[in-house]
Chain A
Amino acid sequence: MKKILAQLFLLAAWELIARSGVAGLTVPTPVSIAQIYLEPRFAALLYRSALTTAGSALLGLAIGILLGTATALISHTNAALRPGLDRLAVTVNAIPAIAIAPIFVLLVSRDFTPTLLSAIAVFFLIYVAVSSGLHTPSSRLLDMLTTFGAGKWQRLLYIELPSALPSFLGGLKISVTAAMIGAVVGEWFGAPTGLGIVILNTMQNFQIPLMWAAVLLVAAISLSGYGLAHLAEKRFS
């Protein structure tokens, strides 16, 4: 109850400040943003755009998780490949998304660039999370399994993979938001639709309330994804 009151108070303060004009013309009032969501024309636009962006982010998340986990497993089971794969992951992560996006636009397509930028960000986070997770079990547990006659793959299956789960879920939590950032930034490079495009166009056309409505929607999607990942983390670890 206290929380809700505090939030209502903040909203009211925002409304007053925005109305008074002390914060300038570019800060819309919460009421004008709410009106955007209620206006069927804008609501439909935001809904369509959100589906595209969330779809790109989700696909990027899935690709990133798959690639990151697979790479971590390869590097864990092949000691010879580990230094090289570590360096590859770090290098891929070191290239700013903004810098690599034009390459993707030419290489694949404008439609697919958001997904790829999401996937790259997620790939690195999941690679690091899974790699370190696979190293967590104590040598005692591994010795025990070895003594019972378990091979490398059985150790992976019975001990290392379950031990890596909490670390993976922690990585998933930050990956969800990284995937959304990748999708929105990717759309700026000329994707046909998406919340990133709405944000860009409204900025250029000075449609301030609509722009804020789109930004808040991005944040809401990110936060719901984060919340879901958080629930999964609590459930499994």
Chain B
Amino acid sequence: MAAIEIKEVSKSYTLNRKESVLALKGISLTVADGEFVALLGPSGCGKSTLLHLVAALDEPSGGSILIDGKPPAVLRNQHRLGIAFQDHALLPWLSVSANLALPFKIAGRPVDTSRLNYLINLVGLQGFEQARPSQLSGGMRQRVAIARSLCLEPALLLLDEPFGALDAVTRRRMNIELQRIWQEGKLTTLMVTHSVDEALFLADRVAVMSGRPGSIIKIVDVPFERPRLRSEDFHKLADDLTALLEP
């Protein structure tokens, strides 16, 4: 398990010799060990950029990001990071089980078949072990991607709009499933989403971001007990947060 400490992080991209654009400014956020935090904001507000910085896919221009007191790349190189993207990022030429075996191969560990079977059961894909991604529905591919992110029992789970490409009904069902999966073994999770409903349904805390430059305007503690239902209070809080997102 791991705790994230983001301090005064900024990120700018140079457009050309003279101009640069500030994508993130003064971001400070801590995620405690075993906590589920959602980054909520409109598209283009820099929330995915922030997640990429935590995944060590990019370097912050200013400030620091520490995971358990060390730079994110350390955790990554120890193969203790799990990630799932909006587009499933499954290898199309590999079967479901071969895709799930990939993190083990990257880490140079023997493929743990009992873990694979456990994960396939966890995401409800029994019988599809030999299927190719193209033979699965969008929701099933996303389940494989989530199972893959959990393969190596990561210390930190990063979810980049994992259900963003799904239809509303499937998305709801996947939210319920993710809640169940997460409760089976709570692990530190940072999720990027633009859905208020999804953020409130899944997260312990929601960091609301606004764009240009991307910054956190409010951090909300979600008061509801798990397993969550979409109650009247839930909808009220959702409305409040939605109002915050209005430009």
Contact = CB atoms under 8 A, between A and B. Distances in A.
Interface SS, A side? helix
A235 interface: no
Given A154-B106, A158-B102, A148 B85 contact: no
Contacts of B93: 162
Given A141-B91, A144-B89, A162-B91, A150 B83 contact: no
Contacts of B55: 143, 147
B89 A141 contact: yes
Contact of B79 (A143, A148, A159): A148
Nearest to A165: B93
B81 interface: yes
B57 A147 contact: yes
A148 B78 contact: no
Interface residues on B, range: 20 to 34
A151 to B, nearest CB: 9
A144 B83 CA distance: 7
A55 B157 CA distance: 56
A158 B105 contact: yes
B172 interface: no
Contacts of A138: 87, 89
A143 B106 contact: no
Interface residues on A, range: 10 to 19
Given A148-B106, A150-B106, A158-B102, A143 B91 contact: no
B102 A149 contact: no
A141 B93 CA distance: 13
B57 A143 contact: yes
A107 to B, nearest CB: 43
Nearest to A145: B106
A99 B52 CA distance: 53
Contacts of B78: 149
Contacts of B152: 148
Interface of A: 138, 140-141, 143-150, 154, 158-159, 162
Interface of B: 52, 55-57, 76-79, 81-83, 85, 87, 89, 91, 93, 102-103, 105-107, 152, 158
16 contacts: A138-B89, A140-B85, A143-B52, A143-B89, A144-B83, A144-B89, A147-B83, A148-B79, A148-B102, A148-B107, A149-B76, A149-B78, A149-B107, A150-B106, A154-B106, A158-B91
